[in-house]
A = this chain, B = another copy of it.
Amino acid sequence: MEKGLRADARRNRDLIVAAAQELFLEQGVDVPLEEVARRAGVGVGTLYRRFPDRDALLRAVGEESLRRLVDLAETAWREEPDAWHALCRFLRGSVALRLGVLPAKLEPHLHQRMRVGADLHEMRQRVITAVLRMIERAQADGALRTDIGPGDIAVLMTLNVYTPPALPGEPAMARVVEIMLNGLRADRESPLPGAPLDADDLRRYTAVQHPPAQ
């Protein structure tokens, strides 16, 4: 994305974004930038040179995350044999991306920019398109229960559970996701509360909404 950087500068830039991503997940977006620099193995000077302020860094992390999500959605659709399996793969991947944690911290930065920047807005569209396609098709195939709407899937993408920091969270998470997928299957239904969250809900749940202050 950034170009014209010297090789080492480029490498450091990426290290910084990766470190920031980790730390934002672990400790929130208020981590001292010095700590980000330390984790990335660079000096603060380097960080500030590349990202003039905290926002620039937040934006970079957000974009990276969205980029991965687009890739996940489109790859799943392309490589899986049917819509149901594509959806499963997509949901497993989304949960692994920790969308439930990152966006919560990146609010309102990411969403704000999504509205503004054409590039990001387009990525968002691609994800939405892919999700709608998977759902429609999976339901037509009789694999996905029909009282599930796109908004439901959007919410499930952000699924998260607490696991103690010292324990590996993945095994537990993986089981939860499969339980959830099992609950989505068409052949076994029990009533869900309320009405299916529909495509409009999906948009609402994905859209900007500046918290009143702060």
Cα separation A210 to B164 with both chains bound (whole Å): 9
* Contact call B171/A193, Cβ cutoff below 8 A: yes
B152 x A162 contact (CB < 8 A): no
A194 to B168, CA, bound (A): 13
- Tell me which residues from 135 to 164 in chain A have a Cβ below 8 Å from any Cβ of chain B: 148, 151-152, 155-156, 158-164
Q: Is the CB of A164 within 8 A of B28?
A: no
Q: Which of A164-214 contact B (CB under 8 A)?
A: 164-167, 171-172, 174-176, 178-185, 187-194, 197, 204-205, 207, 209-211
Q: Closest B-chain residue to A214, C-beta based? A: B27
- Knowing A161-B158, A162-B99, A162-B103, say if A183 contacts B172 (CB, 8 Å): no
Contacts of A161 in B (CB 8 A): 100, 155-156, 158-160
Say whether A107 faces chain B, with CB atoms less than 8 Å apart: yes
Cβ-based interface call for A104 (8 A):
yes
Majority SS at the chain A contact face = loop
Residues of A within 8 A of B (CB): 28, 30, 99-101, 103-104, 107, 148, 151-152, 155-156, 158-167, 171-172, 174-176, 178-185, 187-194, 197, 204-205, 207, 209-211
Return 16 A-B CB contacts under 8 Å, by A number: A28-B28, A152-B176, A155-B162, A155-B172, A158-B163, A159-B160, A163-B205, A166-B209, A179-B183, A180-B180, A180-B183, A181-B183, A182-B182, A182-B183, A182-B190, A188-B188
